[in-house]
Amino acid sequence: MRRIAIVGAGQAGLHLALTLLAAGYDVTLVTDRTAREIRTGRVMSSQLMFGPARRLERAAGLNLWDAAAPGASALRVTVWDPPGKSALTFTGPFDELPHSVDQRVKMADWLVLYEARGGRVRYGPVSPATLPALAAEHDLTIVASGRGDLTRLFARNALYCPFDRPQRTLACVYVHGIAAPADHPGPQMRTNVVAGAGEVFVLPALTTGGPCGILLFEALPGGPFDCWHDQPSPGGCVARALALLRTYAPGEYELCKDAVPTDAGATLYGAITPTVRHPVAEVAPDTYVLGMADTVVTNDPITGQGANTAAFGASAYLGAILERGDAPFDPEWMRGAFAAFWRYARQVTEFTNLMLEPLPQHVQRLLAAAVDNPAVAHRFVNGYADPADYHGWLMTAADADAYLATAGARV
């Protein structure tokens, strides 16, 4: 039986560990937190799972929250330009409902499930100094730790790294009390693009206490949303968020004005430098480890792709491991396993990087066309579930104009 170690118990690491365990592998999962510590800690993300990624979880029997997590039936996009004045708005339906499960719930439940199925867990930190010993004990060691010292073992791939610093500062808070618009009473995602300030995302979710909402601010550095450096308490975060919404996105403020934080751990702050890294690290002479998901491909959450990319990474690595059989997991194989994942992740990365830049004129034309053309709105909204589709019509001005002409929209 082949022995595989996975460092990190997040979306990618746990998904892969559970599916490898089901396939008969001897799996050791290494994590520095117990399920109880995860469940009672602070929120870890503003995760969102679209239809294709949810199908991967369903196929693996990991869809534990389908009946409990509210699914968003549509996405509403509003551009506020100048700030405080709506320049355009449109709504598009999702073909498959996305949902969001607080990772305090999801990772804790998956970790309990993994142990209940006989999976081995080593609790405690792993450092660059201790990783070689772990790798020497296993046929394959995968690093899925996301960020920190282990990530820096993997060299940056400058070819796919247009940014050398964060393009947004982030503030996220889980809340109760968000209202639905009168014209769409069911669960809905909303994107507010505020000129010169950044973006505000509102989405339904499931947290430790049941259904809730998530407010995520993506602040342009130096702009009016870039005001979270003191990392206020959950109550202070909500108060500040509402003050910003009242000024810069008043329509959203009216829907959120009664919001209150869900719990004492309901906030998350930070900033992410989008980075792609080489997937193989030599941690000792002739001893190699394979990076996975956020360890080697880190995107800003502006497009909501993080958890989806992790799920596809787990699926790609599972397929590569199963196909390898008894052959060695050498560096050449590792690079091939990553290449299978990168075919998906590259599309995500290029789309996300585009949305971090000032919106190009052709994207602005597409958004304007979506106001009056339901087909354009539908395709834009569902591209979040399949970012590869954007590469045929949204990524360049020529493709956008050709699509708009075909769609019969005003250019």
What is the C-alpha to C-alpha distance for residues 260 and 173, in angstroms, rounded to an integer? 9
SS3 assignment, position 383: helix
Q: How confident is the model at residue 66, as a pLDDT?
A: 96
Beta strands 169-176 and 267-271, pairing class:
antiparallel
DSSP 181: P
Tokens (6 digits) for 246: 């009242």
CB 2 within 8 A of CB 25: yes
pLDDT band at 373 (very low <50, low <70, confident <90, very high): very high
CATH class of this structure's domain 3-63+102-163+274-355: alpha beta
**CATH assignment of 74-99+167-271, among 1.20.58.220, 3.40.50.720, 2.30.140.10, 3.30.9.40:** 3.30.9.40
pLDDT band at 407 (very low <50, low <70, confident <90, very high): confident
> Quick one: average pLDDT of 319-329?
97
pLDDT band at 261 (very low <50, low <70, confident <90, very high): very high
What is the C-alpha to C-alpha distance for residues 161 and 238, in angstroms, rounded to an integer? 34
For residue 215, the surrounding DSSP H or E stretch is: strand 210-219
CB 144 within 8 A of CB 293: yes
For the chain, give the percent of residues with pLDDT over 70. Answer: 99
For residue 313, the surrounding DSSP H or E stretch is: helix 306-324
Q: How confident is the model at residue 65, as a pLDDT?
A: 97
Kindly report, residue by residue over 155-182, the tens digit of the pLDDT: 999 999 999 999 999 999 999 999 999 8
Distances (CA, A) of 182 to 93, 137, 187, 357: 16, 59, 12, 33
Beta strands 120-123 and 26-31, pairing class:
parallel
Given a cut of 70, whether residue 410 has pLDDT beyond it is no
CB 29 within 8 A of CB 80: no
Residue 367 CB coordination number (10 Å): 19
Which amino acid, 165? Answer: R
Torsion, Cα 321 322 323 324, to 10 degrees, reads: 50
This prediction's pTM: 0.96
Domain residue extents for the chain: 3-63+102-163+274-355, 74-99+167-271, 360-407
Taking only Cα atoms into account, the Rg of the chain, rounded to an integer number of angstroms, comes to 21
